[in-house]
Structure 1
Amino acid sequence: MERPEAADTSESLYPGGNGEDRNPENRIQRPCPERKQVDEPEELQSAGTPDAAPESQHPLAGGRQARGCLQQGGVDSFDICIAENYKVTEITGKKHKKKHKKTLENVKMICAGNQMQLENVSPALVLEMLNNRDYLETKSEHREKSHRSEMHHDEDCAWIANVTNPKMVSLQLAMISDLAWNGEALQGGINSYLHNWLSSLFGNVAAKKIKPLMEEYYRLTSIRQPAFMAMPYGDTEFHSGEFGNELERYLYAYDLLKTKTANLERTLPADQRDGFFEIVKYPIFSAALIAEKELEAQEARDIARPGLFPNDDEAKASAAVSLNAFNTLKQLNAYYLKLGKGKWSSIIATNGAEMQAPQLPGTLSSKDIKLLMQDAFDRNQDLQPLVTFTKNITAKNAYDWTNAFQAPAAKGETAEKIQLKPLLGHSNNAVKLPKGAILRYKFVSSSIGDARFTLATIPSYLPYEKNMRVSVSIDGAEPVICQMKEDYNSKEWKMNHWRGQALKSFYVTLLDGYHTVEIKALDDNIIVDQWVLDFDVDREYYVFPVTR
């Protein structure tokens, strides 16, 4: 029996899709999220201790904001003229019921590069881009200042999103549309926006249950986007031999998320299930199946010895799990293409590299797959708690600081505050450090000897950023300067974006006991995600083993 057709959720792609009143006189301001306390250096202290700014604080507050060409009381309707090279040159349409034509001064392609397509960028990073004037305004390698003239109006600007599969990025498109209309549309923060957006689609009660699922989905895809799992991007650094098999541990997190998603789907009324499949279930299940398909294929390739695959039961078991995931993914895509009498079949992309058959060291029949699945790694039974494997390693999320010190303010100016960035990074709550701000961590270790310290930050998305330097001092020693910036579109830059983190490491020699780590931003646009201190300096792994 065919499922009843759900209400069309596509209105969320356009201004007004989140149900927000566009009239600023009627719009209710959303409350800011809870703030985490930070300390100021003694020389900057004043009455009271300042808070960390909420992640919603707009860096352009008080100044002009690039809001696109949807301006209240301005353009009644419009068309955008796009040349063959995707560059918008002008808009034509009606303004106050009169024909109107205007040349656009500033046109920004949002997520224009192959490594930065909107489908592969988390909503939190999209928001960070849209709130960054350096990203929005047109610059060149030879000009420090924007090409945008001083005498411009917001309706002279346009944002264009580079999208292959619009249904997979409904939230990101809603954010872009809302911010184009109103630069303060996300003043309450991305967590609040996500809840309100889900409420507009499924109601407040269901939204409260769906939101944790989407938060975990964004965390897992920030660790590795599905598109970057496929072989064209090379093997990942997931290592089955470390931390009790970190590869299977990552896939187990997806297993738990799939179970919770399926359980919630069964509680929804029939008229919401198609919409739930499109917005929630399909992104989660397809990401999980792509990860399983590619990582288990990687494991089979690593295990199998040349020419001996037919006799290697362990390699064949991983290959069977990979092929089973691939077959399930094909069934999922086929169901989606038929959903709602096939109304989305023309815009659902199911031919990307991540959707293709896994690359395996040999072939298996359908009968072999069923038999070998019984001998595969049992994630429910075989995984041990992560803390069991972290005796000589300390890993921290950046937000788990002991003390934080705000950046000093320049004379006559207000300093930017330390900001938490929910739904961003492997930690799912990265920390933006203004230039001069410091995070301090205190911890105890029983290990002695040489150790490798690795810092992880959010990779640069600015093509012409000059420096992204961070200093790290351990136990008050001379700071080590880490340059987190890689040349735009270089191999290292691409690998950082595939991973979702830029990494820099150095070596230290430590005694056992109490230690401190101080991380200081020496430049702008520094977003710290995680760090790790490992006394096994040759250990290879992908996910930092954070235990809290």
Structure 2
Amino acid sequence: MHAFARLCRILISLLASSFLLCSPVLAQSSPHDDWISSVVLPGSAVISDASKPTQIVLADGDAKVVQLAARDLATDLERVTGRHAHISSPSAIKSTSLILVGTLGKSPLLDQLVAAGKLDIGNLRGAWESFVVASVTAPMPGVDNAVVIVGSDARGTAFGIYELSQAIGVSPWHWWADVAPEKKAALYMAAGTRRFGPPSVRYRGIFINDEDWGLHVWAANNFEPEHKGIGPKTYAKVFELLLRLKANTLWPAMHAVSPPFNQLAANAALANDYGIVMGSSHAEPMLRNNVGEWKAAPESYNYVSNADGVRAYWEERLRSNGGYENIYTLGMRGIHDSKMQGPKTDIERRQVLETIFSDQRRLLNKYVNPDINQVPQVFCAYKEVLPLYRQGLQVPDDVTIIWPDDNFGYVRSFATAEERKRAGGFGVYYHLSYLGAPLSYLWLSTTPPALIWEEMSKSYDNGARNIWIANVGDLKPAEIGTEFFLQMAWDMQRWPLAQLSTYLRQWAGREFGATQATEIAAIMSEYYQLNYQRKPEHLQWWLPKESPRPSALSPDEITQRLAAFTQLQSRVGKVGKQLRADQQDAFFELVAYPVQASALANLRYFETERGNRAAAINADQQLQTINAHWNGPLAAGKWRGIMAAEPADDQWKSMRISKWQAPATDIVAAAPVAPVAPVAPPTASVVAMEAEQFQHQRANGSMRWELIPGLGRTGAGTMALFPTTAAAIPLAQAASTAPRLDYEFTLDGTDGAGNYQFSAYLIPTQPLSGTVLELAIAIDDGAPQLVQLDVKDGSAEWAQGVLNATRIASTPVGTLAAGKHQLHVYGIRPGIVVDKIVLHQGKLSSGYLGPVSASRN
């Protein structure tokens, strides 16, 4: 019986492996615990143990990026086991523990294993950036088993090598966040073949931006002063990180403080060695850093009056860099994120841009490839350019159109079904950091992974699959959001909605171990929720050039908010005491500092508002202390200069909060922080319910309401409509066919009856089409009525909405009698995300944050 069961398990395993190898889509999304072990398993291959040395074997003719990754794997093995691994060519193989790595067609040894039937690669050949990790039995005489990593192309091979590094316990952030791996005496890989790739998104990467106050200062004064800023030494570390995260694209730093990337030829050559595809931002066509490289007067960067000069400027870059693997940004904007100079009307701007497209593509024909369809090209419809596209700007069909977000994490545009037929496809440019109006956020990274998931899965489902770029600012401390963004880009199947809430726990387990993973994940989840309510960089309720005014929060809300932050700090302290000494730096960088800094920023601001001078000054001093730790002894001085609290200086004052100033007088002593308690709702008669607090729901055949955990200002999540590609349902059909959420409530007989208004508190998403978000509601047996919100993108209302992470859509519902009632919320158009629903008499407080009750208060 046991033998039969074992045979069944083997057959199931073989069938699963066969499916993975034949599948054209992603195949390995699970953690590595099931295939990496510290004890010998039947049929396992030795990665490293004390019995004999480990040898990493690769062909001399393989790509430089494969050689670099193999070198890193050898170092990673030593980090984990304390034993050095040797790198050699196939001609120098000895009877050792073997890790055979190589690219199809570049490694005769691996090609021979495939030809002999010892290595089954399935449909790997010709795939984009894909790889197989396998345990191969008897790959050669005298070798029982070997670990084999084979890639479809050079980047695929490198990704496979770094996949093994992560599997043995080395974090992708081992250098950038000082994450120390757990030491292990031995490492073995279970029998079997595992296939990875192709990626969900073809080009996946980051944009280093607004680097003036962190990354540049650190590089110029600490890490590589010889280059007076971010140079090849820093970029080498960035390139390695990208490969460890299975990313392949970089838009380099471009502010005036930074040396232009291509000013030093070594940078582009290094990117080529690492297999990184270089691009340039929305404001930098043809790989040109206009801020640092355009030496003529800024007004002469004008295609109407100086087309020959601008064209020659672009041509110079293509002559020097056209032989590398690049993505070319087409079009033209002004110097440093400003509007294009020259044309005066939108019609003229479209005409000039279409001429520019033609001229740029002729240059690409000449210097890059006579077949323009083989040259990766993008057009980023950012800021004032998006309306031009919507007005009819003709973009060549093979060019990828990149949709921007609104700079605050809400994607501004989505392709229609007809647009998705374009050969060039679509992509997304997404902000995890931003310098701009209405208020910047450059300091702490507080975009919830759940929001990244909601926006990027929606974008992917609506055709944005060719390029994703995240603006990560100074990169630190944006590690969590950056990795989640890139994980989604690599494998959209890894984080289905049902698994979204486990991301932080898996991340914490990898970085700090399973024992503390649940608590660290819970801390970071609350960190994101509290800071989603109001970012630390937005802790003033007036915009630049406006008169200062108090926050919109009530005294009770302020007390509750500060209490929540204080409790979070306490939990951080308790966890920190449980971690190993070699984990302390990483814990400070990834968890303790973000939590403490955001807590102290809130304490400083609100105690100032309450007039508690001593408490505010104390919070400011504590903030200065932890910043000094960042920029001083942390990691033996490694990060000196990397961290600057917002605002770091007086630059760009029109788009940043004011510098903090202590209250003039100490009105009262520091108020004791009360325990968290429900906040009293507004004084008007109110029935308020979190969106997920429905009693019943109804789906239809094409659309349904689903909970997005971890997204929203309060509660357990938000409710959104899926799939986001579903067709809208006419209002007349809502009652019979629309997906519905039912909420039960009771009005008492005293002051409960009367005229009511319905308000839906929405996440400030952009519509999938048009300018309006909409749903429908009905009370009891009433007919559905439409509830709409015109987002008025870029308006004052929109600005306050993204700062508060809330837009409110309201409609009158008439007189409600005392007694029991039922509210029906109908989903009629995807794209709307509901956080809270409220029925109320009178005006609601715009600052209301606290828990809500499903009864009248």
Residue aligning to 1:190: 500
Residue by residue over 1:487-542, the C-alpha shift from the partner in whole angstroms, topping out at 9 and shown as x without a partner, is 22221112111111111234443222112111122222111111123345465642
Unpaired segments ≥5 residues, structure 2? 1-169, 183-188, 206-242, 250-273, 288-321, 327-367, 378-398, 403-427, 649-655, 723-727, 729-737
> What is the Cα deviation at residue 326 of structure 1?
2.0
Post-superposition CA distance 1:472-498 (Å, at most 9, x none)? 223333444222341222211121111
1:395 matched to 2:688: yes
Q: CA deviation at 1:183?
A: 2.5
Structure 1: stretches of 5+ with no match in the other structure: 1-6, 29-63, 139-153, 301-314, 410-414
1:82 is matched with which residue: 269, 280, 291?
Answer: 280
Distance 1:66 1:537 in 2: 46
* Alpha-carbon shift at residue 418 of structure 1 (Å): 2.4
Confirm whether residue 270 of structure 1 aligns to residue 563 of structure 2. Answer: no
User: Could you list the per-position Cα deviations for residues 70-126 of structure 1 after superposition, in whole angstroms to 9, with x for gaps in the alignment?
Assistant: 8999998233132582568799449xxxx9984134343212864696935321111
1:199 to 483, 486, 509: 509
Contact 1:110 1:162 in 2 (8 A): yes
2:528 paired with 1:218: yes
Tell me the alpha carbon deviations over residues 29-51 of structure 1, each in whole angstroms, 9 at most, x when there is no partner: xxxxxxxxxxxxxxxxxxxxxxx
Cα displacement string for residues 138-184 of structure 1 (whole angstroms, at most 9, x for unaligned residues): 7xxxxxxxxxxxxxxx6xx3322112242222111111222222232
Alignment correspondent of 1:429: 717
How far 1:280 sits from its partner (Å)? 0.9
Query: Separation in 2 of the partners of 1:523 and 1:124?
Result: 21
CA distance in 1, matches of 2:605, 2:744: 38
- Give the structure, 1 or 2, with the largest relative contact order (CA under 8 Å, sep 6 or more): 1
**C-alpha contact (below 8 Å) 1:433/1:528 kept by paired residues:** no
Distance 1:425 1:84, change over 3 A: closer
1:417 aligns with 2:417: no
Q: Which residue of 1 aligns with 2:674?
A: 380
1:131 paired residue among 457, 479, 490: 457
How many residue pairs match? The answer is 448
Distance 2:559 2:579 in 1: 31
| 1:321 Cα deviation from its structure 2 partner | 2.7
Q: What is the correspondence of 1:35-50 to structure 2 with a 5 Å cutoff?
A: none
Return closer, same or farther for 1:384/1:232 CA change in 2, 3 Å cut-off: closer
Is 1:341 the counterpart of 2:636 in the alignment? Answer: yes
Query: Following superposition of structure 1 onto structure 2, how do residues 302-341 of structure 1 map, counting pairs within 5 Å?
Result: 315=611, 317=612, 319-338=613-632, 339-341=634-636
Distance 2:441 2:541 in 1: 18
Partner of 2:831: 525
Name the counterpart of 1:169.
478
TM-score, L = length of structure 1:
0.70
Q: 2:796 — aligned with what?
A: 491
User: After the TM superposition, which of the residue ranges 195-204 and 287-296 deviates more from structure 2?
Assistant: 287-296
Indicate if the aligned counterparts of 1:124 and 1:421 stay in contact, CA closer than 8 A.
Answer: yes
Letter in 2 for 1:421: I
**Residue 201 of structure 2 contacts residue 490 of structure 2 at CA under 8 Å; is this kept in 1?**
no
User: Following TM superposition, by how much is the alpha carbon of 1:220 offset from its aligned partner in structure 2, in angstroms?
Assistant: 0.8
Find the aligned partners of 1:11 and 1:526 in 2 and give their Cα distance: 39
Q: State which of 411, 431, 442 in structure 2 corresponds to 1:111.
A: 431
User: Once the 2 structures are TM-superposed, how far is the Cα of residue 199 of structure 1 from its aligned partner?
Assistant: 1.1
> Relative to structure 1, is the Cα distance of residues 333 and 137 closer, same or farther in structure 2, using a 3 angstrom cutoff?
farther
SS of 2:529's equivalent in the other structure is: helix
Q: Whose Rg is larger?
A: 2
- Aligned sequence identity (%): 23
Q: How far, CA to CA, are the matches of 2:453 and 2:844 in structure 1?
A: 37
1:445 is aligned to: 747
TM-score w.r.t. the length of structure 2 is 0.47
SS of 1:469's partner is strand
CA distance in 2, matches of 1:12, 1:213: 24
Contact 2:431 2:471 in 1 (8 A): yes
Q: Which amino acid aligns with 1:183?
A: M
Does the aligned pair in 2 maintain the 1:475–1:515 contact within 8 Å? yes
Change (3 A) 1:167 1:540: closer
Does structure 2 retain, via aligned residues, the 8 Å contact 1:78–1:92? Answer: no
Range with bigger deviation, 340-349 or 509-518? 340-349
2:201 is aligned to 66
Partner Cα distance (1:476, 1:88) in 2: 61
Secondary structure in structure 1 of the residue aligned to 2:674: helix
Amino acid of the residue matched to residue 213 of structure 1? I
Structure 1 residue 136 displacement after superposition: 7.5
Q: CA RMSD in A?
A: 4.1
Are the aligned partners of 1:81 and 1:92 in contact in 2 as well (CA < 8 Å)?
no
1:445-524 alignment to 2 at 5 Å? 445-446=747-748, 447-461=752-766, 465-507=770-812, 508-524=814-830
Instruction: Report if the CA contact (8 A) 1:237-1:540 is conserved.
Output: no
Label 1:495 to 1:84 Cα distance change in 2 as closer, same or farther (>3 A): closer
Letter in 1 for 2:515: V
Task: Return the letter of the residue paired with 1:196.
Answer: Q
Is 1:240 aligned to 2:438, yes or no?
no
